[in-house]
Structure 1
Amino acid sequence: MSNNYRYTLEPYKGMNTRYHCPYCNHKDRKFVRYIDTETGEHLAEYVGRCERIDSCGAHYKPKDYFQDNNYAININKSIHHKNMFTIESNRLSLIPEESFKASLKGYESNNFVKFLIEHFGMEITNQLIKNYFIGSSKHWQGSSIFWQVDIKGKVRSGKIMRYNAATGKRIREPFDHITWVHSVLKLNDFKLCQCLFGEHLLVDKSKPVAIVESEKTAIIASVYLPQFIWLAVGGKRLLSRKICQILQDRSVLIFPDLNAYDDWNQKAKEFSDIGHFQISDLLQRNATEAERNQGFDLADYLIKYDYKQFQIEP
């Protein structure tokens, strides 16, 4: 049977046709990009599938890419109508409630929670756990779960990551300790549909919204700058129109990592029809050359200060 679809995963023709995954950032080249069969050109570098199924399994399809970017594209090259492509089930895959609730304990062994306690004390850490539903996982000793709970309270999935309790940095050796709850649970036919980390907090409409890349940064920044609702997209390439639709008519301030300023600045302009999007140059203005070389994010910058003093600084 011939393939009638214009966009397809690039066939394997050696390692030059495999790439580093922009979602899990693993050192192995396991990411397969989509190509346009009519031109031979790739779609955007983050449109594709990670072959590390058990550890990542990210799959950003051409259909989602075009929808996120407001394109009307003929996906099926044999029937020229923008709606004539295979429609997948609209059923939203969710994590079983018992799995979610079972993770909300074991904090004495949770490395990230230990790091928070060291910097902010027990009272604030307990509040952060409640605010963001920080979970614990036995998948790797000391690992944490960062649940994606949408504005309706539905648990889309959870990202499992292991942190160093002393430094607060992700453990990346001998491999990058990151995976998904649905992958660990081996849920059949699970279709990951991500939402913003912290999206459930948007029920509070009294505060402006702040967006960062990582879940860890959102949690830490909420202590230093509590006048915002802090959310995270979970990756440099994941700031998309689709995931930001929930921010309709909200005031949004974006805090990019140092290596993402230009990309996110462009996104802020593109999303002006959704809400009042602005970009912060806080890191751009204050980072040293050494910090730029290290790819500092907002959490790296904030954690240098005492949060009590930082809150009263002009």
Structure 2
Amino acid sequence: MIKLTDFRTELVPALDSLLSMKLRQDIKEPALQAAMTYSVMAGGKRVRPLLLLAVVQTFQASLIPQSLPAAAAIELIHTYSLIHDDLPAMDNDDLRRGQATNHKKFGEALAILAGDGLQPLAFQWLSDLRFADTVKIKLIRELALGAGPLNMVAGQVADMQGEHKALSLAELKALHRCKTGALLKASLLMGAVICELDSKRTAALSDFADHLGLAFQIKDDILDVTSTAAELGKPVHQDQAANKNTYPGLLGLDGAQTALTTELTAARRALDPLVASTDISLLAAFLTELAN
């Protein structure tokens, strides 16, 4: 059994080293390389790549080394989405991960292009993986579906259109299953593809991902209300200022805490079909972190 803290301590430096090396290798234009690297290497918890790697560790740990570039590809997509979300036309944020947002550092035009560059580069890295072509095609499809107009991008559109409009709880959940949950889900399902899991195990991970994604967003909404900018590395109380729909705004802070507990409990139960044959402690540890 491997602890999440040890797993993160071992793999985040390896992931960061790979990201840094491949960004230098694959981006030749100096200004573009600087802008793309700035946001990718700005820190962050690397939750999405770690979820992919946690599935691989759980079911076929020997594949961790050749899975690292797939995990890195997910981080490129996540970073592109943050760069574009921070733009003045979107959330208009000045601070991300404790430092100036990309458009504040490099200007809007180069920030847009940095995001534009990160997105196709992710799929280039997936196409270069040392896996069978059938596996690579499935990985590319999972990431494209999670990040594309059916999911993450659609969620961002719904978020923008929902400003100044009161959403129901069902509408808010649907929004965040796309905006936040879809890329988390893609990360887990890409791990399932790498391990070539059967339909039962993949379905359990998919159910786990649905509840994990909502829990992740609820916790983020709570922290926006209860934390300081120094603690989060980004502005707080931004959602309320932008008239965004949030769980505390809809349910109150206590109600949001209850909703978080409900989703974490459901996520843990979703792993039950795996328990008989698999040590699910590493995956369950992500829930413990959110609870704390």
When the two structures are superposed, what TM-score results if normalisation uses the length of structure 2? 0.31
Greater share of strand: 1
> As a proportion of its length, which structure holds more helix?
2
Bigger CA radius of gyration: 1
Tell me: higher relative CO, structure 1 or 2? Use CA pairs within 8 A at least 6 residues apart: 2
